[in-house]
Structure 1
């Protein structure tokens, strides 16, 4: 049975829980820094890592679990927020993007029998693009229709994202560098269950 078809085992549950917890930590460790109403977080870093290491199955599941925990009321969103009120927040698009990021990056890595460092690099930056395109556009339309700020210029919203982008650009390079190493260790440790597993080149 393929990895994407098998049932969840104990290790899967642990990994999903671990990355959901990392997302909660990443949401708040630097969230006291706010630019244009957008908290500066480490979540894109962990969402990218989840996709690269957990794949297109467990990666997005960990992001969904994190989101559901927050919607249930746990203070795991940026600024220690929780509950359904986040659905009307201009930054909710970024939370949604984490699920897509993990899935897309996972698919890209899985598409290669032997993913190279360049595979991780390209996947990580595609994930960053998804995060900013979905999150920033959602924020713009939220200000337009939810906050009734019809005169909010589109360029201003993107301007707010300039400072966080520098941080995320650097962290994306970092995650693209470390992910292949961690992935190789994980693949090597699974050789006893999958003899065809090979190390990242």
Structure 2
């Protein structure tokens, strides 16, 4: 992965980080957990499918750096390094791994591989998130799974499938437009 970024790539990274911030605000707090229901998983998947590993991963890193310095980009307009090291920070860290896995699989243009990588990425995110939730709050692992994973599995697995399907179609459309403009 080269790190010489073109103006186009820098612009895409900024746009994807902004999209992630917008999708993060579409959230709903749950009364029994500190983990809100958000569309962040959907955003990570769709950004990674469309933008690929490099742009997707860098945009998530920028999104989290913006949040870490205090900009209110995380769910419920929260910001600051405390969010990353807090109860829900493990999920944020997992998004970076998800973006790389999904973005890499999207280059292969194999839908089955993309689904496998996406669900593996979501599972890694759940694992890291539940582990940090456990460590920060002092919950046992069963309680952290009950608060941070179980209520979200169905929603996030459905959101992942929808994001893959939409992302794959958008990516194909963009590629066709680019090919037509290059040929014309």
Q: Which of structures 1 and 2 has the bigger CA Rg? A: 1
CA change 1:6–1:154 in 2 (3 A) is: closer
**Does structure 1 retain, via aligned residues, the 8 Å contact 2:29–2:35?**
no
Counterparts of 1:1-201 in structure 2, within 5 Å, are 4-5=1-2, 7-33=4-30, 35-110=32-107, 112=108, 115-144=109-138, 152-160=139-147, 161-191=149-179
**Does structure 2 retain, via aligned residues, the 8 Å contact 1:121–1:177?**
no
After superposition, give the CA deviation of every residue in 1:8-27 in whole Å (9 maximum; x if it has no partner): 22322222112211211222
After superposition, give the CA deviation of every residue in 1:24-75 in whole Å (9 maximum; x if it has no partner): 1222212434541111111111111222111111111000110111111111
Unaligned runs of 5+ in 2: none
Alignment partners' CA distance in 2, 1:32 and 1:24: 17
CA RMSD of aligned residues (A): 2.1
Alignment partners' CA distance in 2, 1:34 and 1:63: 28
Indicate the structure with greater helix content: 2
What TM-score does the superposition give when structure 1 sets the normalisation length? 0.81
Unaligned runs of 5+ in 1: 145-151, 196-201
What TM-score does the superposition give when structure 2 sets the normalisation length? 0.88
Tell me the matched-pair count: 182
Alignment partners' CA distance in 2, 1:178 and 1:79: 26
